[in-house]
Amino acid sequence: MNAMKKMLLIPTSALLLAAAAGSAQADTQPMDRIDDILTYAADYGFSHIEEINVDDRGRVEVEGWIDDEWYADVDFSIDNGESLQEERKRLITGAWA
């Protein structure tokens, strides 16, 4: 497991677990695919992740920092990691998450 995955595994796992626990009909697939989701985000270039949302339509939305200037909101296919939609904002506040 690379350093990026290690840094993101605990907070991201906690986030996904909280989201799954909050829904009475939560699907367990996202928890089984956490390594894939983190790999998609790392391969895309995320250095700091603020939020991960798993959609019931086979999509996962990752929000966070690509580097110290660009904040991104990217939707990935949960099946193959293909980026489906992207929005970037250039901010001068620096990375946080």
Split into its structural domains, the chain has a count of 1
In a domain, 55, yes or no: yes
What is the per-residue pLDDT for 87? 94
Domain assignment present for 8: yes
Q: Which domain covers residue 25, as residue numbers? A: 3-90
Write down the pLDDT at residue 24: 40
Q: What is the pTM of this model?
A: 0.65
pLDDT by residue for the chain (97 residues), tens digit each? 566 555 555 555 555 555 554 444 445 566 778 899 999 999 999 998 999 998 878 899 999 999 878 899 999 999 899 999 999 998 766 655 5
DSSP output for 44-63: HT-SEEEEEEE-TTSEEEEE
The answer to whether residue 97 is domain-embedded is no
Residue 17 is predicted with a pLDDT of 53
Report the pLDDT value the prediction gives residue 82, as an integer from 0 to 100: 92
Report pLDDT for 25: 43
Residue 71 covered by a domain: yes
Q: Is 95 inside a domain boundary? A: no
The Cα–Cα gap between 33 and 81 comes to: 11
Is residue 96 in a domain?
Answer: no
CATH number reported for the structural domain that contains residue 9 in this entry:
3.10.450
